[in-house]
Amino acid sequence: MTGSEPTDTADEQAGDDLTAARRDFLKGVGAAAAVGASGVGVADQLGEMNALEVVDDPIGSYQYRDWEDLYREEWDWDDKARSTHSVNCTGSCSWQVYTRNGQVWREEQAGDYPRFDDSVPDPNPRGCQKGACFSDYVNADQRVTHPLRRVGERGEGKWKRVSWDEALTEIAEEVVDTVQAEEYDAISGFTPIPAMSPVSFASGSRLINLLGGVSHSFYDWYSDLPPGQPITWGTQTENAESADWYNADYIIAWGSNINVTRIPDAKYFLEAGYDGAKRVGIFTDYSQTAIHCDEWIGPEPGSDTALALGMARTIVDEGLYDEEHLKEQTDMPLLVREDTGKFLRASEVPGLDADADRPEKVFVMVDADGDLRTAPGSLGERDGQHDDSVSIELDFDYFNQAKGNIAVEEELWPKLDLVVDINFRMDSTALNSDIVLPTASHYEKHDLSVTDMHTYVHPFTPAVEPLGESKTDWQIFRELAAKIQEVAEERGVEPVEDRKFDREIDLQSVHDDYTRDWLDDEPGALAEDKAAAEFILEHSEESNPEGSDRDSTPRRRSRPTRARCRREPSG
């Protein structure tokens, strides 16, 4: 371009600026060095700088803060209650149940178990994912909220909604008819396991006892008890609590997938290994527990009986047994005849059918009158035959849990005149019943929970009101007793002599007897389930062991000390 001076390009200009910046930086470094050489303190220079300030609220300058309230409200709650789950889970874990707007909002494991022995791991916390989602059942679609009467065939699923008075009147009239015909022992009932929910258990068994009926046992049909335990030791579920696993030197997990089925207690199994115990897992699969064992044995399915017999033979052959223990604590001294040296045979017992198939393999039992019976197969006086009866099932899915008892459905059920299921949901037993009565869920009632797996007694305190027209188990049986007494008074039913016990079955006083505190002879003292729970706490050997400060009555034998977890106040 003519007539003008040449100009710098952009790159040349940027290079000049960078050179100037470097020159200024070096001048600054030189000045700092001069200050240091002249003896002027660097600290004096730094002291002129502002000190660092603590920032209490890092987002204090934000203009929009309403989102914090949204977050807080998401985790806000109106009230909380202490409860647990009486579903035949021996974990018996205590939970904080939080409610909002009258609904169970979330469950949280309690972590305030008292620690009694510092030599074993801390018991806190206890719980599993099943307990953390029990609230899903409280408002589930299968929840029964009103009394129902069957209008189709059993199992067909056709129902008519009826009132409580209609349902209880129909049941009461059937009961009164049965007792008047002196067939009271055809009234049978199955209630929850005493340890899991003693108030619910007592609610049904108390009334059934007053009616002269038969309460079903548990282990013989849902089959989760190792039969060798009562056969060998004469007691069932007599074992140390899970914390004692930590004291073991050698632990065998034989088919027990502890890390899945015993989540609250698995820590004692795992930490025992840290403490030096050897852990052996016997599983047909490489299970979640087997991976934590020092040795895994994987027998062919069905062959572990042979493995156990081989172990027993080795113990005997090598003299590894404790002779005094065997004599005192097991049935081994009774299995071999001293005169012949041969094992006992059931076929040699007088009164047993010698023509029975393999009679030497049949267990036998003797009842209170000395009558010989084969077991199982007898329900009382009728030599194994079950007459038409009234059956009341409470809080148990009879059909689902008695998985091997196909005969229950095929042979027994058609013979029952009336089947009543007291349940909080429509399960397979409710489906095969004639009347379904809605009961409160675990979060809607007072009860207790104990277990042989730890030393604590957990209370149920209602977190919410029973859904719909549901009532607690104690309320249902109390109202049924009142209706039976009402019907009996209208008919003028006279007391019936009990053929087995020295007493009368008096239906005109059955409600009064049901609610009476017989120890203090106080009428109506046990009208509510909360009073029943408090009565059990005050008088049970579990919560009042012999020799304790709370022990006020003579006991036949002592029980392990149990501590009650703190109960939150409930309205």
User: What is the 3 state secondary structure string of 50-72?
Assistant: CCCCCCCCCCCCCCCCHHHHHHH
Name the percent of the chain lying above pLDDT 90: 47
Q: Smallest Cα–Cα separation from 75: which of 96, 105, 104, 110?
A: 105
- 164-180 and 473-491 helices cross at what angle (nearest 10)? 60
The whole-number pLDDT of residue 398 equals 47
Distance from C-alpha of 15 to C-alpha of 558, rounded to nearest angstrom: 95
| Tens-place pLDDT, residues 320-356 | 999 998 888 777 787 888 888 887 776 666 665 555 4
| Tens-place pLDDT, residues 196-219 | 889 999 999 999 999 999 888 776
The whole-number pLDDT of residue 564 equals 33
337 CB neighbour count, 10 Å cutoff: 12
The whole-number pLDDT of residue 56 equals 80
* Local confidence band at 309 (pLDDT 50, 70, 90 cut-offs): very high
Distance from C-alpha of 127 to C-alpha of 132, rounded to nearest angstrom: 8
The whole-number pLDDT of residue 175 equals 95
User: DSSP per residue over 465-513, as a string?
Assistant: PPSTT-B-HHHHHHHHHHHHHHHHHHHTPPPEE-SSSSSEE-GGGHHHH
Q: Kindly provide the b/e burial profile for residues 224-237, where b requires at least 16 CB atoms within 10 angstroms of the residue's own CB.
A: eeeeeeeeeeeeee
Distance from C-alpha of 293 to C-alpha of 259, rounded to nearest angstrom: 11
| Tens-place pLDDT, residues 350-394 | 665 555 444 444 444 343 444 433 333 322 333 333 334 454 444
**Tokens encoding 291:** 């991976």
131-225+357-564: CATH architecture: 3-Layer(aba) Sandwich (3.40)
* Local confidence band at 19 (pLDDT 50, 70, 90 cut-offs): low
User: E strand or H helix at 215, and its extent?
Assistant: strand 214-215
Given a contact cutoff of 8 angstroms between Cβ atoms, the answer to whether 329 and 296 are in contact is no
Domain assignments of the chain as residue spans, ordered by start: 131-225+357-564
Q: Kindly provide the b/e burial profile for residues 452-464, where b requires at least 16 CB atoms within 10 angstroms of the residue's own CB.
A: ebbbbbbbbbbbb
| Tens-place pLDDT, residues 50-90 | 667 777 887 777 777 788 888 888 888 999 999 998 777 88
Phi, psi at 393, each rounded to 5° = -110, 130
212: left (phi over 0), alpha (psi -120 to 50) or beta: left
Q: Smallest Cα–Cα separation from 244: which of 80, 93, 120?
A: 120
The whole-number pLDDT of residue 372 equals 38
389 CB neighbour count, 10 Å cutoff: 22
Average pLDDT for residues 15-44, to the nearest whole number? 52
The whole-number pLDDT of residue 59 equals 75
Q: How far is CA 283 from the centre of its chain?
A: 25
User: What is the 3 state secondary structure string of 318-380?
Assistant: CCCCCHHHHHHHCCHHHCECCCCCCECCHHHCCCCCCCCCCHHHCCEEECCCCCEEECCCCCC
The whole-number pLDDT of residue 344 equals 76
Q: 96 - beta bridge partners?
A: 82, 108
pLDDT at 542 over 90: no
Torsion sign, CA atoms 440, 445, 450, 454: positive
> Taking CA 337 as the corner, what is the angle to CA 335 and CA 341, rounded to the nearest 5 degrees?
105
Distance from C-alpha of 67 to C-alpha of 58, rounded to nearest angstrom: 15
169/452: higher pLDDT: 169
How much is the pTM? 0.73
264 Cβ contact list (under 8 Å, min separation 6): 91, 93, 126, 127, 128, 453
431/2: higher pLDDT: 431
Distance from C-alpha of 464 to C-alpha of 473, rounded to nearest angstrom: 16
CA distances from 103 to 130, 283, 443, 448 (A): 19, 43, 10, 22
| Tens-place pLDDT, residues 116-153 | 889 999 999 999 998 899 988 888 899 999 999 999 99
